[in-house]
A = this chain, B = another copy of it.
Amino acid sequence: MAGVSHATVSRVLNGGRDVSVTARRAVDRALKRTGYTPNHHARQLAGARPDSVGFLNCVDVSQLFADTNINRLWLGCTQALADQGIMLVLPVGAGAARAVDAVLMFSAREADLGDSPLPLVACGTPVGHEGEIAYVTSDDRGGARQMVAYLRESGRRRIATVTGPLDLPSGMLRLAGYRDVVGVVDPGLVVAGDYSYQSGVVAAERLLRQAPDLDAVFVASDLMAVGVIDALTRAGRRVPEDVAVGGFDDAPVARRTWPPLTTVRQAWERIPGELVRQLWRQVDGDGPSGVVLPVELTVRASA
């Protein structure tokens, strides 16, 4: 009760445009005096702009800070949103995203898609829903294509691949890119992994059995690629002399392997910003659209 109306108080709260200095001061004092806190729900209901967005990782919550890719994105998004005074929240479990005003979605399988009542942007291609869901993604298919083409131009003839989970867009698309350049593929040269180090090891051992004459492997993630290199080395193959290994992501580990990993670099520094930009478009009612960020072949020593 500063002797002014609701409306004036609201104006002060939202930037104080079109409010006289005296009124503003009176309101400010009253606010402080009464320890007033705006009600988030009422605010959102009345149509305020979202001020909390959820970082929804469809795969695994507990691994959030262990997976360097997700971690990088998390940090970037936190930053990009904090710049605008918006909080990033981590909803956990099935319907938990209802607690926030908007959603950033990661590692979504087809089943995770479906129309959301909230403004939503997917990180990665929402395969099969490209026209309905806004998204930002790296050029997975193009990147895979670049890598495999590079391997081939380096004179490799028996190029195998370790894929990511095939129910994930990135997994499917990187395999598609491999197919694009290899043409008709020998099934013995394709093994599925799950992006983990361990699955890289297992996949490489299997590959060695199925196709002992392979001379290159395109691995769909750097972490798996490390596993592949380790397994290959243990089996007595030299990298890259006997077998060239190419990864994907340019994760921090790519610089620390021996030999350093040739990989496809994702534009990590751009993704969070684009994600947030797309989210605002969504909030402003623009139709869903997709942003495909270019990737860059980064040649080091493993291939």
A residues bordering B, Cβ < 8 Å?
A: 35, 37, 39-42, 44-45, 51-52, 62, 64-66, 78, 82, 87-96, 98-101, 115, 117
Contact = CB atoms under 8 A, between A and B. Distances in A.
A87 B78 contact: no
B98 A52 contact: yes
B99 A89 contact: yes
A65 B65 CA distance: 8
Given A65-B62, A117-B37, A93 B87 contact: yes
A167 B105 CA distance: 38
Contacts of A87: 91-96, 98-99
21 contacts: A40-B98, A40-B99, A41-B44, A52-B96, A52-B98, A64-B65, A65-B65, A65-B66, A78-B93, A87-B92, A87-B96, A87-B98, A87-B99, A88-B92, A88-B93, A89-B89, A89-B91, A89-B96, A90-B90, A90-B92, A99-B99
Contacts of A92: 78, 87-90
A243 to B, nearest CB: 36
A90 B89 contact: yes
Contact of A99 (B39, B52, B64): B52
Contacts of A42: 41, 45
Contacts of A37: 117
